[in-house]
């Protein structure tokens, strides 16, 4: 290289670095504070945030909003399926330990959360996005022909392996394509979670309410108890339609920030331009903008090949690097630990009460003199319908100044526990229904915010791992719920008191979280 070429190369590099610094300065404020992440990664993430923000919310993101909603719906739909078939399956097969069905489901959910959550940081988001609902659909349909209680349990575990991956993967994908100004849509997306609950109960009411053996019936044969099998065919069929729409009718691109985190800057730029094209726009992002960041941070070597290689070495290893990154600073470690505990407490409190809600309603209804299978599923539908306005209100509150994500999540979680305690005072089935409606309204606000806030406080390169850690804690504690139920008297208020206390404790812990992501872009 001649002296003239050397100086020209230096001037070009300086110009690129200055341009990158301008882009970084113009990028939306980050949800994770400066200094918590690798400086090269943080600089590139800010430039990509700026590029996505410049493209804006368009056709691609709205299509993604629809198909990602299938994952949200499945995450709530299938645990509710298990809950709704719990009583008719128990009546038909007369197992010695009915809660084993819920235990099987929760083991599958844990396996799915671990495999898909950690895996999507290693092999990418696209494969997980396309396969999870397909697995759920296949085993959900097969379960309709189960000849025994053990078979139902096995198929519940297998369909749950698919279900368990939906939220860790889908929340990461959606957040990584959203402009910072529209991240509240991650909360609004939970309306699919609530609508799935309504849909499941709407289908269950006629099928399980009319084609199911009564709880008191001694000889409950398959022919008298076909409702739950028809119900499984409908649920599995709907999941298969969702899978086809995702796999055949929509093209999912790999997350640009995920690609950047793997050192594939050129591919990241290519995806940004493709999203812009799908939205009918253009993007000014260039590969040089990202490569210039390699020499911006103190202590980094100002050559693209060396910096990229370092990123690849750190991020592509199938080991604990992604986990370590979530504890890289005191504040990150504190945040990761607290949010994991919150997920764990909720993971025990929610299924301990909600998974056995139809059984509790049925037995309590009988105590009040008006219990029937028909009324049980009718009441479940009424309760489910309250989740829809809950999700919409959550989407409004998270963008409210001085309330934000943390304030909304803390208040909704504490009130969920309060309403559970209140349900123990019910003296009539209508009173119990009222308390459960209030509980479901608040718990849907809680979940809507929790599912949005959690991925926002993890960096993209480790987001799948962070989601996997929190989801795994949630599922591990969820496994404890049916075990507790096996040795508890569900006709007492003991499970309710435990659930209420766990929700209230979780709400208090939320107030101690260090990051508030309202109005800030994810990293």
Share of the chain above pLDDT 70, in %: 80
Q: Tokens representing 7? A: 């100086």
pLDDT of residue 510: 93
What are the φ/ψ torsions at residue 223 (nearest 5 degrees)? -65, -30
Greater model confidence, 339 or 4: 339
pLDDT at 205 over 80: yes
Using the predicted structure, report yes or no on whether residue 458 has a pLDDT greater than 90: no
Of residues 66 and 99, more confidently modeled: 66
- Check residue 448 and give its pLDDT: 84
| Span of 244-253, 308-317, 341-350 with lowest mean pLDDT | 308-317
Whether the per-residue pLDDT at 32 is higher than 70: the answer is: no
124: region left, alpha or beta (phi > 0 left; psi from -120 to 50 alpha): left
Fold of 59-254+324-510: Growth Hormone; Chain: A; (1.20.1250)
Instruction: Please report the pLDDT score of residue 226 as a whole number.
Output: 92
Task: Kindly list the domain boundaries of the chain, sorted by start residue.
Answer: 59-254+324-510
Q: Is the pLDDT of residue 72 over 80?
A: yes
Query: Which of 430, 441, 466 is closest to 451 using CA atoms?
Result: 466
- Confidence at 492, pLDDT banded by 50, 70, 90: low
8 A C-beta contact, residue 411 and residue 449 = no
Most confident of 17-21, 37-41, 221-225: 221-225
**Predicted pLDDT at 369:** 40
pLDDT digits (tens, 9 = 90+) for 350-378: 877 765 555 555 555 544 444 566 777 77
Structure tokens at 208: 């399980």
Predicted confidence (pLDDT) at residue 13 exceeds the cutoff of 60: no
Average pLDDT over residues 3-27: 48
Tokens for 198, please give them.
């309504």
pLDDT band at 305 (very low <50, low <70, confident <90, very high): very low
CA-based nearest residue to 351, from 25, 148, 26, 105: 105
- Is the pLDDT assigned to residue 412 strictly greater than 90? yes
Q: Token pair of 288, please?
A: 């040089």
pLDDT, position 144: 94
Q: In which band, very low, low, confident or very high, does the pLDDT at 138 lie, cut at 50, 70 and 90?
A: very high
């Amino acid at each position: 290289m001649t002296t003239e070429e050397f100086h020209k190369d230096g001037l070009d590099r300086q110009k690129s670095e200055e341009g990158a610094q301008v882009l970084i300065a113009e990028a939306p404020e980050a949800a994770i504070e400066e200094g918590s992440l690798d400086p090269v990664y943080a600089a590139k993430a800010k430039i990509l945030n700026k590029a996505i923000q410049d493209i804006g919310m368009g056709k691609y993101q709205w299509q993604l909003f629809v198909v990602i909603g299938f994952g949200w719906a499945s995450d709530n739909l299938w645990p509710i399926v298990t809950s709704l078939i719990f009583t008719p399956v128990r009546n038909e097969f007369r197992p010695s330990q009915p809660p084993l069905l819920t235990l099987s489901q929760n083991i599958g959910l844990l396996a799915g959360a671990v495999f898909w959550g950690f895996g999507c940081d290693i092999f990418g988001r696209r494969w997980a996005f396309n396969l999870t609902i397909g697995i759920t659909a296949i085993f959900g349909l097969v379960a309709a022909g189960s000849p025994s209680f053990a078979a139902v349990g096995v198929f519940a575990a297998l369909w749950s392996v698919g279900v368990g991956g939906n939220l860790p993967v889908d929340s990461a994908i959606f957040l990584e394509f959203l402009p910072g100004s529209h991240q509240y849509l991650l909360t609004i997306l939970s309306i699919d979670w609530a609508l799935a609950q309504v849909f499941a109960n709407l289908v269950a009411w006629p099928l399980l309410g009319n084609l199911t053996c009564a709880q008191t019936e001694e000889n409950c044969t398959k022919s008298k108890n076909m409702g739950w099998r028809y119900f499984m065919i409908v649920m599995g069929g709907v999941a298969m339609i969702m899978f086809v729409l995702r796999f055949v009718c929509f093209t999912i691109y790999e997350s640009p920030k995920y690609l950047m985190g793997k050192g594939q800057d050129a591919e990241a730029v290519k995806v940004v331009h493709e999203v812009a094209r799908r939205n009918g726009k253009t993007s000014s992002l260039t590969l040089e903008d990202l490569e210039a960041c390699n020499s911006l941070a103190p202590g980094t070597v100002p050559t693209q090949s060396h910096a990229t290689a370092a990123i690849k070495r750190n991020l592509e290893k199938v080991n604990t690097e992604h986990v370590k990154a979530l504890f890289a600073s005191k504040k990150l470690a504190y945040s990761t630990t607290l949010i994991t505990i919150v997920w764990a407490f909720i993971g025990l409190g929610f299924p301990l009460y909600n998974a056995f809600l139809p059984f509790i309603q049925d037995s309590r209804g009988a105590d009040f003199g008006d219990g029937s299978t028909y009324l049980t599923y009718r009441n479940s539908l009424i309760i489910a319908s309250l989740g829809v306005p809950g999700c919409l209100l959550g989407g409004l509150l998270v963008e409210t100044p001085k309330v934000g994500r943390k304030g909304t999540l803390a208040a909704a979680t504490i009130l969920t526990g309060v309403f559970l305690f209140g349900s123990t005072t019910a003296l009539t089935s209508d009173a119990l229904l009222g308390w459960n409606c209030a509980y479901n309204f608040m718990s849907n606000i809680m979940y809507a915010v929790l599912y949005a806030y959690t991925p926002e406080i993890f960096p993209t390169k480790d987001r799948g791992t962070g989601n996997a850690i929190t989801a795994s804690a949630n599922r591990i504690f969820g496994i404890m719920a049916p075990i507790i139920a096996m040795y508890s008297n569900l006709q007492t208020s003991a499970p309710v008191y435990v659930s209420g206390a766990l929700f209230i404790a979780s709400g208090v812990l939320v107030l101690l979280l260090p990051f508030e992501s309202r109005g800030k872009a994810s990293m």
